[in-house]
Amino acid sequence: MYRRHSPSTGPGSPAVTGFHDPASGSVQYVAWDPATKQAALIDVVLDFDPAHARTRTDSAQEILDYVAERGLTVAWVLDTHPHADHLMASAWLKEQTGAPNAIGEKVREIAALWREIYHLETELDPDRDFDRLFADGETFALGELEVRVMLSPGHTLGSITYVAGDAAFVHDTFMHVDAGTTRADFPGGSSAVLYKSLTDILALPGDTRLFVGHDYPPVGDRTDPAWEATVNEHRARNKHMGGGTSEADFRRLRDDRDATLPLPDRMLHALQVNLRGGRLPEPEADGRSYFKIPANRF
């Protein structure tokens, strides 16, 4: 995986290393407190081959190897939302590290929505599969750092941002400045709600480092993945929001673009795993897990 390090800028500022997963375009993060070396793993991918319905833990193991090389201790396994484009490694990482896993509390509403889509009455239970379901405005400790949770819906109805000092993990809201923003057309999504989340993130201090959830190079002349820019850089030149884009203009642009996008090829597999905290469906009598895919639903 391509990776890049963003050093701490001083007391109260986390060090951050991002890892780009080329198969899904996802960016995974290790963020840590330099004073205590307590780390959070954020939005880590469980490798998945949709053609063969096969999972692997290579990417997650690479991140754990990096953690060990740095002498870090994993304190949290965090996700920002139930991802549609990759399977989350949350359950496996919890088993490997003993650290609690967490996501936003509105994942309960997302689970209710997808229970109906999958026709699964009881199997999706976030209270069972996550140790913490964070509320908007809640805080928790990462070593000596305080991490604040911001509700940032629009891409999903329950997406959250983690803000730690001068770093914010903004998931599927912004993309890199030269790529714009992320889609808002999944079940429970809304371009109007996403616009509000984007403006809330842009209200953070200008030097806040924003770490986004995806990049799909090449973009223009850029061939390497990129995922870090400051609030000031997004305010000035984000492709969709820079220069003070109005809500009406943003919604028109976002909705028109979303209408042209196909579903991610992992989506219908991913949601039934991610709403179980990264666990595959319960094995059946033969000891194997089976995905349930709704026909003619999308």
Distance of CA 175 to the CA centre of its chain: 12
The arithmetic mean of pLDDT across residues 26-42, rounded, is 98
Three-state SS for 140?
strand
- For residue 34, how many other CB atoms are within 10 A of its CB? 16
If you ran DSSP here, which 8-state letter would residue 289 be given? -
Burial class (CB in 10 A: 0-12, 13-18, 19+), 181: buried
pTM: 0.96
Residue-wise pLDDT for 197-252, tens only, equals 999 999 999 999 999 999 999 999 999 999 999 999 999 999 999 999 999 999 99
Residue 71 has pLDDT above 90, yes or no: yes
Q: Which domains does the chain have, with CATH numbers?
A: 2-269 (3.60.15.10)
- List the structure tokens of 18: 């991002």
pLDDT at residue 75 is higher than 90: yes
Q: Which of 145, 129, 160, 118 is closest to 32 using CA atoms?
A: 145
Instruction: Tell me phi and psi for residue 251, to 5 degrees.
Output: -65, -40
Q: Which residues on neighbouring strands pair with residue 134, listed in sequence order? A: 104
Smallest Cα–Cα separation from 108: which of 134, 85, 90, 84? Answer: 134
Q: Does 37 have pLDDT greater than 90?
A: yes
Task: Order the strands of the 26-32 sheet from edge to edge.
Answer: 2-6, 15-21, 26-32, 38-42, 73-78, 101-104, 132-134
Strands 54-56 and 160-164: unpaired
State mean pLDDT over 87-102. Answer: 98
Rounded alpha-carbon distances, angstroms, from residue 65 to 19, 70, 194: 13, 9, 35
Write out the H or E segment, with its range, that includes residue 172: none
- Is the per-residue pLDDT at 126 higher than 90? yes
Which residues pair with residue 132 across a beta bridge? Answer: 102
